[in-house]
A and B are shown apart, each in its own frame.
Chain A
Amino acid sequence: MTPALDLIGLAKSYGALRAVIDVGFAVPEGSITALIGPNGAGKTTLFNLITNLDAPSAGEARFFGQPLAGMKPVAIAALGLIRTFQTARVFPGMTARENVLTGAHLDVRQGAAQQMLWLGGARREERRLTAKADSLLALARLDSFADMPVTELPMGGQKLIEVLRALMARPRMLLLDEPAAGLNDQETAELAALLRAVRDAGITIMVIEHNMSLVMGIADDVIVLDAGSVIAQGPPAAIRNDRRVIEAYVGAEPDRA
């Protein structure tokens, strides 16, 4: 079966700095894959390479078999590969609900002209999308914030809004960059439940995350990145005990000790 995402020898250098070195792995459809690693390991850069926000120096990414090389970020999004950002990039000036609705852009079939003519189809579509956004907001227990300016939400709430916004795009695969940063324990548990439900609905997820209990709780597969290279890959239980992973995180060098 074609993997949802297939990375083949992806690399990126900034001058002499090799941020990502020959990264290759496959993400099976319908799984949750966690991408972990110390700060500066190249996790976000890898997301940028996949979505072509940054052009790779070498290698390519394939989404359900389709090469993404040379495609604009907007075209990649249109394929159903939707990402979030490390710092919550909500759209200020809009309410929480409007932010979530913005994610439905690819799902909007009635054009600007139909909207401006107040045609029935456009109104029905708007009601359908609003209902969907409201049910997502309720799922994340953010419904009481729906009409507030999104910037007045706490940071954790804004991170969740970004995830909901990505879900509105009817993605085939989500790339989530540290969605649990700024969330408290209860919210993190709700996020975990949400992500499992998303996976069970058939949407593939790759998630960068530092919260290990979240990673170990939801991931089917864990990939460990250190200094731009994949140093381990496997199910959470195996990764937990991998010596190289512990070294990368703790920084110990047992050979010389």
Chain B
Amino acid sequence: MLNAAQIVIGGLLQGGVFALVALGFSLVFRVARIVNLSQGAFCIVGAMAMYFLQTVYGLPTIVAALCAVAGGSIFGLAVGATTFVPALARLPTSSMLMLTAGLLTFIEGLVLVIWGNESYALPPFSGEAPVVLLGLRVSSQGFWIAGMTAFIVLALWGLIFRTGFGVALRASAQNPFAARLMGIDVGRVTLVSFSLAAGIAALAGILIAPITSLQFDSGRFLTVFGFVAATIGGLGSLLGAVAGGLLLGVTEQLAAGYVSSLFANALALLLLLATLLWRPSGLFPAEPLRRTDVAAVQRIHRAVVRLKGRGAALFIAALVIVLAVLPMIVPPGLVASLAIAMILFIAVLGLDVRMGYAGQVSLGQAGFMAIGGYTAAILATTYGVAPLLGVIAGIALSLIAALVLAGATLRLRGDYLALATLAFGLLIDSLTVGLVDTTGGPSGLVGIPALSIGPIVFGTPRAFYWLALGLAVVLAFALYGGMRSGFGRALQALRTDATAAAALGINVTRMKLAAFAISASLASLAGSLYAFEFHFLSPEMVDTRHSFELITMLVLGGEGTLVGGLFGTFLLTLLPTVFQPFALYKTLVEGGLLVVVFLYLPEGFLGRVATWFAPRTPRTMVESYDSST
């Protein structure tokens, strides 16, 4: 019993920090209606800054903490002013979400470059000795966490409901257009909120650093748990953020204490899915942030220009020929990387159908790679099943998983759907690490045989590359056939206006399911190929980081172009191989590229090339319209 009470106290401490991160989510969501996935990264920036100010420069704890929080806010201000706020005016909500995912990766990369990949732990603010209360040992840090969380909630409440800035903030949240007409600088309000949220996150980071050691990519974990907390409590609600954080912290610690810490993550994600399913507005729904009697209008649409006709056919023919001879002209050391790039392109093709055409953000694509990879690998190594059958079994399992996930998430709106897919991806991550007996755990599965179809063995990287290329070409042609016809048009229609699509007899649910099934199957296929190419599979080869990487690859090349993904996969796979020092900067560059592309080249590389060949507005028609109005 005492033990249970001790665990609950640990959970409350953890939960207090989740609550702080959740408060940051709610603040930004309140004004911009965007879930800012970079929230957790600011925690790490705060904690790292604190560590160096305190231990390297020897500043007193309080001074170091204040400097770290101020630094976090200023860093947030800079990031917000250069990326988040300007993008808000130009990007659709789904792209904004991915932009913040890019910021998360970028900041992680920045921390990696500056502070390396070591784990850091701070000393507790008031010494190591725990306080004993009613026979329970409470870490002194706990009082700091509880006090600061209460202080921040009160300060935010005062700011939002008792100040002129709060009025501007609420007005910007409810109707940005009208707020602008009333002279409110919505951009500035958003920027200040973003910066405040970054400061709160930095505070959360320095508070949790003494009880959990942090490294450059721990921000991802804090982002997810902070978001889960905010969603359980009710996005946008201050009270909800605290309630959600504490509930999540206690649940997680109880699961870790009585089952296994590996399944604590899984439990948190199941809690998120359950909340999204049964109570999407959370335990304490925030007051309506927008008028609900007005149809939700997507903020911005982007026109996609595609290459067509003879020119496109020539381009594709030339491309296939170049790709076919590529392994014979590049240095032999590069051929394996080419094969990997081609495998990833298959996964990106699937992602393009779901994201580029149907407009459904998927942050869990690597989860299906993991299902496909592990199913094929386990069947081949443990049960000696033929590789081809293993691949098919992987696809079948992925389709079942996709169907279950779709059943749970079909009703969800854009950003919630995206986060449910993120939760799914992280759930698969924790399973691949946690099910040690089946998956080999963190050290992975070894001894996966070469892929063979009947008597043909794809044993060399070159043979494997040609196999992947052949598959990719067949798949790309098939998808092109579907996307240029009724199927593709239906997907693009429901992407921007599901109501108008349904009014034309398009079964929106069935079309979304079809797109999801295609993307899951292709990711699964890519995962299986991955395992057979490396003869080895470990959780980090197919973890959530790769879901983000696949998105970067797709967006770099151009969403909704099918072949555009080739550009992204080859660039991001070959760069670290060709230019070795790049490995350290890989995370930074990937995140940075995603952000920069969204800001300056939202149509992607191939999309931009296509616009050079796009038909122009016929001049005479424009004039005849102009003269008439």
Residues of A within 8 A of B (CB): 14, 51, 53, 72-74, 77-78, 82-83, 85, 89, 91-94, 98, 101-106, 108, 110-112, 115-118, 122, 126, 129, 144-145, 147-149, 151-152, 154, 156-157, 165-166, 169, 184-187
Contacts and interface: CB of A to CB of B under 8 A. Distances in A.
11 contacts: A51-B503, A74-B507, A77-B505, A78-B505, A83-B503, A91-B492, A93-B302, A98-B489, A108-B486, A112-B486, A118-B481
B503 A92 contact: no
Given A72-B502, A116-B482, A144 B301 contact: no
Interface residues of B, number: 43
Interface string B279-321: 0000000000000010000000111110010000000000000
B505 A149 contact: no
Q: Interface centre among A14, A82, A83, A105, by most B CB within 10 Å?
A: A105
A53 B478 contact: no
A72 B498 CA distance: 13
B486 A116 contact: no
Interface in B483-503: 484-487, 489-490, 492-493, 495-497, 499-503
Given A105-B490, A108-B486, A118-B481, A82 B504 contact: yes
Contacts of A72: 502
Contact of B615 (A83, A122, A148): A148
Interface stretch (B29-37, B116-124, B331-339, B621-629): B621-629
Interface string B230-261: 00000000000000000000000000000000
B508 A152 contact: no
Interface of B: 293, 301-305, 308, 477-479, 481-482, 484-487, 489-490, 492-493, 495-497, 499-508, 514, 560, 615, 617-618, 621-622, 625, 628-629
Given A92-B301, A93-B302, 14 more contacts: A91-B492, A91-B496, A93-B303, A105-B506, A115-B486, A116-B481, A118-B477, A118-B478, A126-B486, A148-B615, A149-B305, A154-B629, A165-B504, A184-B628
Contacts of A74: 502-503, 505-508
Contacts of B617: 148, 152
Contacts of B479: 116
Contacts of B502: 72-74, 77
A36 to B, nearest CB: 22
Contacts of A110: 485-486
A82 B503 contact: yes
Contacts of B495: 91, 93
B302 A92 contact: yes
Contacts of B503: 51, 53, 73-74, 77, 82-83, 85
Contacts of A83: 503
Contacts of A102: 489-490, 492-493, 501, 504, 506
Given A116-B479, A145-B618, A103 B504 contact: yes
B303 A85 contact: no
B477 A93 contact: no
A132 to B, nearest CB: 13
B500 A93 contact: no
Contact of B621 (A111, A129, A144): A144
Contacts of A106: 504-505
A201 B479 CA distance: 37
Contact of A151 (B301, B499, B501, B514): B301
A112 B487 contact: yes
A93 B560 contact: yes
A89 B497 contact: yes
